Amino acid sequence: MGKMFRQEGNCLIRELHGEKLCIEPWGKNSLRVRAIMGSEFINEDWALDTEPDSCDGVTISINEQEAIIKNGKIRASIRYDGLITYYNQEDKVLLKEYVRNRRELTRYCSTLNLEAREFRPHLGGDYALTVRFESDPEEKIFGMGQYQHGYLNQKNCRLLLEQRNSQASIPFAVSSLGYGFLWNNPAVGEVVFGKNLTEWYARNTKQLDYWITAGDTPAEIEEQYADVTGKVPMMPDYAMGFWQCKLRYQTQDELLSIAREYKKRGLPISVIVVDFFHWTNHGEWKFDPDYWPDPEGMIRELKEMGIELMVSIWPTVAKDSENYEEMNEKDYLVKNDMGITTHMEFTGNLVFFDATNPGARDYVWQKVKENYYDKGVKLFWLDEAEPEYGNYFFPLYRYKLGPALQVNNIYPRLFSKGFYDGMKESGEDQVINLVRCAWAGSQKYGALLWSGDVDSSYRGLREQLPAGLNAGLAGIPWWTMDIGGFLRGNPDDPDFRKLLVRWFQFGVFCPVFRLHGERLPHQEPLGSKGGGLFFSGADNEVWSYGEEAYEILKKYMFLREEIKPYIKKLMEDAHKKGNPVMRPLFYDFPEDETAWEIEDAYMFGPDVLVAPIMHEGMDKRKVYLPKGAKWRNTNTDQVFEGGSWVECTAPLAVIPVFTRQGGSVEFNI
């Protein structure tokens, strides 16, 4: 029996029945696990491409019945029949593979004949892969990226491992049992965190690859994950202020008039945005001079006002654009394995550039550098980053890196990487770009994830809180949303004005504070081509919602300015350690059992507890204050002992917010 196991350096190898399994230390208290039906592993590290700390003190032992590898606080045991169990330093089981067959004689005999690691071959090569683990029904699962289902705890959820508009699949989970788990595979698939078992599935792949870490607290787990997948750069100071955006400023004169009005009113504003269809065509990546005649002059005036310009970049290329033929000849475009190569029909037949191709990434960046960056633009909005295929039928598409079924989920990360690499080479140290999708490790390329085109409703608002918290726990500290939602919303509607105020209050206490939305009714297009082709939404500035709302919004804009020194400390912590800026209560209070149950309030850093108002007509709510601290109500100045529930009044101008007594920030609402 012992011959099936062997040690190669720090790696524990098991080979039997055509499967080669490798467990190796990969960072502090962590293990990487790979398996393949064959003899040679695929040479791709995927998200694990950041050099981990050295793993001193790793031990491996082998006998006739099992082999054991230990790295710090985590230990893996492989039995002779292949079953893997993971333990922490206290010998508590963290995770155990799920097997139901006759070989389970020492524990349970079953005729179901289910294996923990199932490679089901496709005719012609490669595999559909299923990996199964035992489930603890009381376990809580967090992270996994951004899903619009409204749940913070992902236990008992089925999650598609697919990138879509408003859905970012980032397959890192944090467990209440004390481990973190990265599915280190960009293949299209799904995961089920069931009551009876946990099951990870890749529709088409070459090998199994995951990473598991053990930690005494969620923060320790999160920091170990950041050590092996990368940390965000330091956020530039300007990005911590207010961002003004709408669908869409149609001309240079219109945008400048809005910027001037903000300054005339004495309102703090850091960023203003040029949205899509400012260009001559999809895939030409330049201002249309008919509507944006002097970009350099516009940018110069904005900078004199202390405002940075963000410009929308799409990965789409129109077949009648000036760059299509060259990009097609150089294989810089996503290919189709079958059918006609049209990926999206939106004002024409469009295809996506292939972000998995280093040459294509550099080609797009050079166009952007010439037409935007060299004119003074230092901030880009990488929209459509999933990419948003007109039909999410992934078997159709193929990249340089492989078929979409095997690699599609990594596309947004490489889209961000192309701009990060180009900006770093051009001398930028603090890179930040807004993206509509992300994957594990996107954070180290300056990715600011936003939640996509969500509905302008209270339900849409409620879904953003768990989406943002789980994105942070999946390793993306920079997250934002369209304040007010994107789809619909009439500024003249009294009910929408109230919703906008509630959303705006929540936005103050997010990593990035950004107003955006479609807004109704639409304004007509200015022309029939280029920058005049598309309509604009209704006004979406803070004074667009009536005098009552304006006074409230103005108050919260200045509050954001007041707390920027605190926000800067949070950004430094994210940069140095990888901690999320906004996080669930249990992150800072893991010993408080009730804190693990709270899904409608959160911590904005270690010292600010935020309880948003997310239901129509609500003017009061109960808030749980975690044990281990005293809490001050920033509206009433009352102080409460932790471990208690308090009822807060919340008229339209008030969001319930508490500061930790003795913490690093104090303010009043």
Q: Hey, which residues are catalytic here? A: 383, 386, 453
Q: How many helices (H) and strands (E) does the chain have?
A: 12, 40
Helix (H, G, I), strand (E, B) or coil at 208: strand
CA distances from 646 to 595, 611, 621, 632, 643 (A): 14, 11, 8, 11, 10
Residue 330 is which amino acid?
Answer: K
Backbone angles phi, psi at 114, to 5 degrees: -105, 130
Q: How far apart are CA 574 and CA 231, in angstroms?
A: 7
Sheet holding 179-183, edge to edge: 5-8, 11-16, 19-25, 30-37, 207-214, 179-183, 168-175, 141-146
d(CA 285, CA 420): 17
State the Cα–Cα distance between residues 169 and 436, nearest whole angstrom: 11
- Which stretches within 578-620 are classed as H helix? 585-588
Angle at 570 between CA 567 and CA 571, to 5 degrees: 90
Question: For tokens 């080479």, what's the residue?
Answer: 425
Which whole-number Å values give the CA distances from 368 to 34, 69, 275, 279, 286, in the listed order? 39, 49, 15, 12, 7
- Rounded-to-integer distance, Cα 519 and Cα 511, Å: 24
**Beta strands of 368-498 (E only): which ranges?**
379-382, 397-399, 402-403, 433-435, 447-450, 479-480
Q: Does a cis peptide bond (omega within 30 degrees of 0) precede residue 565? A: no
Q: Using CA atoms, how far apart are residues 171 and 185, in angstroms rounded to an integer?
A: 8
Tokens of 461: 């608002």
Q: Are 578 and 475 in contact (CB under 8 A)?
A: yes
Kindly provide the b/e burial profile for residues 123-150, where b requires at least 16 CB atoms within 10 angstroms of the residue's own CB.
eeebbbbbbbbebbeebbbbbbbbbbee
Contact 316, 283 (CB under 8 A): yes
CA angle 233, 313, 476 (to 5 degrees): 30
What beta strand segments (E) does 388-536 contain? 397-399, 402-403, 433-435, 447-450, 479-480, 513-515
Pair 517, 489: CB distance under 8 Å: yes
Report CA-CA distances (Å) from 651 to 170, 503, 567: 37, 14, 26
CA triplet 79, 80, 84: central angle to 5 degrees?
30
Phi-psi category of residue 574: left, alpha or beta, with phi > 0 → left and psi -120 to 50 → alpha: alpha
Q: Following DSSP, what letter does each residue of 268-311 receive, concatenated?
A: ---EEEE-SS-BSSTTT-SB-TTT-S-HHHHHHHHHHTT-EEEE
Angle between helices 494-508 and 458-473 (to 10 degrees): 20
Question: Among 510, 512, 450, which Cα is nearest to 485's?
Answer: 450
